[in-house]
């Protein structure tokens, strides 16, 4: 999982988002200039955070991500929800980045006689020297800040509000980019500081975080009525699997799980955006708006169904294999209790995605509201969703490419 | 090559059906199903004891391979599945579903997944295929089902998702247990490795397998999805769902028992008792049920219990019987479901009441199929049930943990008291058939519990100086006295016999409704071809009943090899009780 790969992922996500955002821009739902400028800022920040060579680079990247992400969320001026989302992301993200910065300062106090805050030197410093309590607290603080960008329960509070309120393309990018950034940074932190220093210190807290994230995310998602909020909780739950991969899996497992998750997130948000533009009667897409959607736009609906099933872990899809790899890593490190909790959580998750699919296919459809936008641009969204579905099936059928990319060779 | 085609052809045909014009759909589907059956029969014709194998790399980093294999264990269920799917596809001509291309595509996707799972030699491939099967099956139930189809589909998918996750967990744990030098999910390599190195306590993994397959095979506490799925779905879909059940039964026969024979030996009395309880419970449900489709579902529950018992007996005969029972259940169930389909169309209800008066030939088919299910000699069900019983009686006796004598005495005394109540309650319940008491009502649940208690009263094994239940007492001289709880397996055999008898009585009572009530509703004329589909089913039912040699020729060599391996494990001294 080299830095180049992570930055490439961010770049592809940014490109994809900018294409899928265009129909929203042309429909007047978001302000184009503001959106694209802040998209650039956010992606640069996320790229630094994901692939940064040391703690300070990561912190700088995170700060840029927070500012840019807040601007992205606020790129729809006529919506109070979007403004609120922007403010929330700024506040929560800023606080988390600040906590990380505090932690980094403590770590710096610890390692300054031996070198800088670069991953390699940190790794050497913690293996060769005794780490004091303050240094340990510092690592824990950096860790907590990063985990809250992954929206792991109990640091998940920002995600549902921000992803629900933000305009859909912004939610798509913020969700995907913060995930890549957090996974990249967390992997470096765990791989080069935590594991060489004390491999067992973080196992139990990490397991608790993973289990609570998967279970709470899925259980709360079951109760949601707004589609975007439900998807937000579902992505929180998926973050739990990523965290489990970071805690117990190898490099290629983390990369595979992250990429397949990002692909699915992009596709699902793309699909939500499509239905918002085509069929919504209100500003917010409700679950009931999807009634019969599966029979109205069959191809897109099948693609969306494939993406949702991938999230539920049904093969052949990247999500299914990612779940398999994560479970395998957990079994290999002998954490059976965690395995049981993950299994329970994923059954609850299956019910979440099933609820959406039941709405789309088994409920009789009502005539859709007047489409907000029509014509050629809607095909961009359709193509994007289908592309994501094809990509996730491809990852499920031929996973070796992604695994090879992730193995860092 | 053949195996690859067998696996992938239906999936490709499904894609083709969706893309090609609408009128090609049905001919293409029939052609595909026919090709599948021909390929499977061809494998059967050229069958010798050496397995056929296809192997390709898939994810070598993790030891996951794309490996397919045909041998004596999976050939029969495979051929049966392709046969059932041909019937199911042909049923489209009798009664066209809405949106035929989508319907047929789902059906063929389901066939592909099931065939893939039957053939899979790699456990991960098995998991993925059997998990994917849930989606087309759920869609078929929900979109082409009756009014309650949506609920039935959600229930079906949820139960199966839970089963799949458990199965995945169990598979991963067993692969990690086998461990060094590198991971493998190949069934044979895995069982060899697990055999060579003494693994620790595998009972949790085995129980996870048992639970996963128990959910999918619709054993008693988890049977609710099956009745709904059968009752609410179209006849063609119900027939296809039989394949889903057979897959679970095959999986239980194939995977956990092969991987952990010693654990199977340790746990078989307990799991066998659960299976028997499931059979008895199903018999009670059958007794009270009037809807033919639900009858099929409950008899599937009963068959599942019997099949599980055959597998758990650990003898070659019992396992062969389980395989033959799968075939018998598939054929008889298919016949009954076809009749149920035409009842729904022609009489607008699927109850059996007064069937003999209004549709005598349909009643005759129902009786023949039901007789096969309860093991009437001359029909294929008899062969299977007899072999399971013989196998269970022949099973080497087994040991289990020792509960205290006081506890046992208390349980038996309680069971005796409950048993007396049970007899009264059952008589009362059965006597009051008009108006019939709905299934699931409190009195029926109480009656069920009471019947279990009665069973315990009759069949409780001897412990220390306590002589055991009434039916067990004559057996006590034959039991090894130095191993206190070892009597459970003979008890199981006895209770299996009792269960078969009870099942037969239950079916007789259910079938009695055909004659005992009058039917005044209108009956539509039959459609052309409606009865034609039944001909091969009934013919095979009788043919294999009279001449089961083709079936046995396939299962015998495989099962003999399997059972020798198991017998080695079964006759080993039991593992030392592990410390705290």
The confidence score (pLDDT) of residue B480 equals 47
CB count, 10 Å around CB of A372?
16
Nearest C-alpha neighbor of B451 from the set B413, B483, B497, B499: B499
Q: Is the dihedral of CA B509, B282, B377, B358 positive or negative?
A: positive
| A-to-B residue pairs, Cβ atoms closer than 8 angstroms | 74
Confidence (pTM): 0.88
**Hey, is the C-beta of B161 within 8 angstroms of any chain A C-beta?**
yes
Residue from B161, B177, B233 whose CB has the most chain A CBs within 10 Å, to mutate? B161
Of B62, B153, B176, the CB nearest to A362: B153
Of A347, A358, A399, the CB nearest to B161: A347
Pairwise CB contact (< 8 Å): A331 & B169:
yes
**Hey, is the C-beta of B150 within 8 angstroms of any chain A C-beta?**
yes
> In whole angstroms, how far apart are CA B477 and each of A108, A409, B396, B481, B487?
80, 70, 16, 8, 11
Render A349-394 in DSSP notation, one character per residue: HHHHHHHHHHHHHHSPPPPP---SS-TTHHHHHHHHHHHHHHHHHH
Q: Is the dihedral of CA B231, B235, B239, B244 positive or negative?
A: negative
Using DSSP, state whether B85 is helix, strand or coil.
Answer: helix
The confidence score (pLDDT) of residue A257 equals 95
Work out the angle between the directed axes of helices A377-397 and A251-279 (0-180°, nearest 10).
150
The confidence score (pLDDT) of residue B316 equals 82
The confidence score (pLDDT) of residue A392 equals 96
Contact residues on chain A for B161, CB-CB shorter than 8 A: 312, 314, 347, 350
Render B169-235 in DSSP notation, one character per residue: HHHHHHHHHH-SSS---BHHHHHHHHHHS--S--HHHHHHHHHHHHHHHT-GGG-HHHHHHHHHS-H
State phi, psi for B53 to the nearest 5 degrees.
Answer: -135, 140
Question: pLDDT tens digits, residue range B422-441?
Answer: 555 554 444 444 555 555 56
Render B90-123 in DSSP notation, one character per residue: HHHHHSPPSSHHHHHHHHHHHHHHHHHHHHB-BH
Residues in chain A: 409
The confidence score (pLDDT) of residue B402 equals 34
Spans of chain A below 50 pLDDT: none
The confidence score (pLDDT) of residue A406 equals 84
> How far apart (Å, rounded) are the C-alpha atoms in residues B559 and B540?
23
> How far apart (Å, rounded) are the C-alpha atoms in residues A394 and A263?
11
pLDDT, block means (10 residues), chain B with 580 residues: 91 94 92 96 84 86 90 91 96 88 95 96 95 95 88 93 94 86 86 76 87 91 88 92 95 90 78 82 82 90 89 83 93 94 85 80 87 81 81 56 43 51 50 51 66 68 62 53 47 70 77 72 79 92 88 85 71 44
> How far apart (Å, rounded) are the C-alpha atoms in residues A313 and A335?
20
The confidence score (pLDDT) of residue B397 equals 42
Which element (helix H / strand E) includes B34? helix B25-45
The confidence score (pLDDT) of residue B509 equals 76
> How far apart (Å, rounded) are the C-alpha atoms in residues B521 and A197?
81
Structure tokens at A167: 């305009």
Of B124, B158, B161, the CB nearest to A324: B124
* End-to-end C-alpha distance for chain B, whole angstroms: 52
Q: Say if residues B299 and B508 touch (Cβ distance below 8 Å).
A: no
> Hunting for tokens 């899979």 — which residue is that?
B120
Shortest Cα–Cα distance, A184 to chain B (Å): 23
Q: Say if residues B115 and B7 touch (Cβ distance below 8 Å).
A: yes
**Hey, is the C-beta of B168 within 8 angstroms of any chain A C-beta?**
yes
Strand partners, B68: B54, B120
DSSP-assigned letter for residue B481: T
Residues in chain B: 580
> How far apart (Å, rounded) are the C-alpha atoms in residues A356 and A289?
11
Pairwise CB contact (< 8 Å): B131 & A350:
no
ipTM rounded to 2 decimals:
0.92
The confidence score (pLDDT) of residue B531 equals 85
Shortest Cα–Cα distance, A187 to chain B (Å): 21
Shortest Cα–Cα distance, B348 to chain A (Å): 24
Render A182-249 in DSSP notation, one character per residue: HHHHHHHHIIIIIHHH-TTTTHHHHHHHHHHHHHHHHHHHHT--BHHHHHHHHHHHHHHHHHHHHHHS
Q: Say if residues B281 and B220 touch (Cβ distance below 8 Å).
A: yes
């Amino acid at each position: 999982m080299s830095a180049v790969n992570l930055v490439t992922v961010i770049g592809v996500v940014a490109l994809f988002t900018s294409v899928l955002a265009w129909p929203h821009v042309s429909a007047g739902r978001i302000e184009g200039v503001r959106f694209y400028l802040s998209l650039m800022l956010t992606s640069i920040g996320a790229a630094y955070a994901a692939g940064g060579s040391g703690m300070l680079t990561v912190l700088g990247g995170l700060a840029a991500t927070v500012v840019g992400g807040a601007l992205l969320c606020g790129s729809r001026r006529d919506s109070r929800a979007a403004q609120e989302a922007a403010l929330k992301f700024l506040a929560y993200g800023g606080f988390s980045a600040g906590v990380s910065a505090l932690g980094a300062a403590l770590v710096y106090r610890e390692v300054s006689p031996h070198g800088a805050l670069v991953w390699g030197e940190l790794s050497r410093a913690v293996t060769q020297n005794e780490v004091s309590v303050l240094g340990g607290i510092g690592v824990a603080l950096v860790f907590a800040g990063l985990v809250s960008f992954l929206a792991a329960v109990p640091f998940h509070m920002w995600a549902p509000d921000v992803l629900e309120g933000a305009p859909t393309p912004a939610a798509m990018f913020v969700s995907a980019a913060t995930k890549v950034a957090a996974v990249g940074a967390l992997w470096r932190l765990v791989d080069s500081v935590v594991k060489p220093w004390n491999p067992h210190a973080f196992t139990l807290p990490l397991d608790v975080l993973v289990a609570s994230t998967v279970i709470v995310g899925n259980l709360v998602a079951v109760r949601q009525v707004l589609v975007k909020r439900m998807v937000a909780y579902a992505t929180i739950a998926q973050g739990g699997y990523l965290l489990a991969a970071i805690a117990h899996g190898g490099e290629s497992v983390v990369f595979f799980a992250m990429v397949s998750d990002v692909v699915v997130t992009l596709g699902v948000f793309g699909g939500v955006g499509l239905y918002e533009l085509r069929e919504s009667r209100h500003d917010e897409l409700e679950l009931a708006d999807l009634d019969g959607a599966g029979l109205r736009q069959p191809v897109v609906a099948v693609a969306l169904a494939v993406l949702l099933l991938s999230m539920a872990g049904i093969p052949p899809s990247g999500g299914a294999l990612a779940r398999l790899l994560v479970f395998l890593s957990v079994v290999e490190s002998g954490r059976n209790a965690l395995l049981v909790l993950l299994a329970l959580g994923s059954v609850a998750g299956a019910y979440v995605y099933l609820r959406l699919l039941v709405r789309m296919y088994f409920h009789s459809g009502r005539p859709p509201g007047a489409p907000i936008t029509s014509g050629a641009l809607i095909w961009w969204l359709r193509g994007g969703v289908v592309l994501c579905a094809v990509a996730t099936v491809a990852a499920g059928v031929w996973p070796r490419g992604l695994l090879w990319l992730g193995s860092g060779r | 090559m053949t195996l690859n085609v067998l696996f992938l052809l239906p999936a490709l045909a499904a894609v083709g059906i969706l893309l090609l014009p609408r009128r090609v759909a049905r001919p293409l589907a029939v052609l595909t199903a026919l090709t599948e059956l021909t390929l499977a029969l061809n494998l059967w014709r050229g069958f010798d004891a050496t397995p056929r194998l296809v192997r390709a790399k898939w994810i070598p980093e993790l030891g996951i391979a794309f490996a397919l294999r045909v041998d004596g264990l999976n050939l029969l269920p495979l051929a049966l599945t392709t046969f059932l799917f041909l019937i199911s596809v042909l049923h489209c001509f009798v009664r066209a579903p809405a949106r035929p291309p989508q319907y047929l595509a789902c059906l063929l996707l389901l066939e592909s997944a099931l065939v893939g799972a039957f053939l899979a030699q790699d456990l991960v491939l098995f998991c993925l295929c059997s998990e994917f099967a849930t989606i087309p099956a759920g869609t078929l139930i929900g979109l082409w089902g009756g009014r309650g189809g949506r609920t039935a589909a959600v229930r079906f998918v949820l139960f199966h998702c839970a089963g799949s996750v458990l199965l995945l967990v169990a598979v991963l744990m067993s692969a990690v247990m086998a461990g060094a030098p590198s991971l493998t999910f190949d069934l044979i390599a895995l069982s060899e490795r697990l055999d060579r190195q003494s693994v620790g306590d595998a009972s949790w993994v085995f129980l996870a397998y048992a639970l996963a397959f128990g959910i999918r095979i619709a054993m008693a506490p988890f049977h609710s999805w099956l009745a709904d799925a059968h009752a609410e779905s179209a006849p063609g879909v119900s027939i296809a769902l039989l394949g889903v059940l057979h897959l679970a039964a095959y999986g239980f026969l194939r995977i956990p028992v092969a991987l952990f024979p010693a654990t199977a030996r340790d746990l078989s009395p307990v799991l066998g008792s659960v299976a028997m309880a499931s059979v008895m419970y199903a018999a009670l449900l059958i007794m009270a049920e009037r809807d033919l489709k639900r009858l099929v579902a409950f008899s599937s529950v009963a068959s599942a219990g019997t099949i599980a018992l055959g597998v758990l007996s650990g003898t070659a005969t019992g396992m062969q019987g389980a395989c033959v029972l799968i075939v018998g259940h598939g054929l008889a169930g298919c016949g009954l479901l076809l009749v149920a389909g035409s009842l729904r169309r022609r009489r607008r209800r699927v109850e059996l009441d007064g069937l003999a008066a209004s549709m005598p030939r349909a009643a005759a088919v129902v009786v023949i199929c039901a007789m096969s299910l309860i093991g009437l000699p001359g029909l294929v069900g008899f062969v299977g049930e007899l072999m399971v019983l013989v196998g269970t009686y022949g099973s080497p006796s087994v040991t289990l943990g020792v509960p205290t004598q006081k506890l046992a005495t208390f349980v038996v005394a309680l069971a005796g008291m409950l048993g007396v109540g049970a007899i009264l309650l059952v008589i009362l319940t059965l006597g009051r058939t008009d108006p019939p008491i709905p299934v699931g009502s409190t009195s029926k649940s109480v009656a069920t519990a009471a019947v279990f208690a009665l069973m315990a009263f009759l069949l409780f094994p001897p412990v220390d100086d306590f002589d055991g239940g009434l039916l067990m007492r004559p057996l006590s001289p034959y039991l090894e006295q130095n191993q206190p709880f070892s009597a459970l397996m003979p008890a199981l055999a006895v209770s299996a016999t009792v269960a078969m008898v009870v099942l037969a009585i239950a079916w007789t009572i259910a079938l009695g409704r055909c004659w005992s009530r009058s039917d005044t509703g209108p009956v539509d004329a039959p459609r052309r071809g409606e009865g034609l589909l039944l001909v091969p089913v009934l013919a095979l039912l009788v043919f294999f009943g009279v001449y089961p040699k083709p079936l046995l020729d396939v299962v015998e060599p495989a099962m003999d090899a399997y059972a020798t391996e198991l017998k080695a494990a079964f006759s080993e001294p039991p593992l030392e009780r592990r410390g705290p």
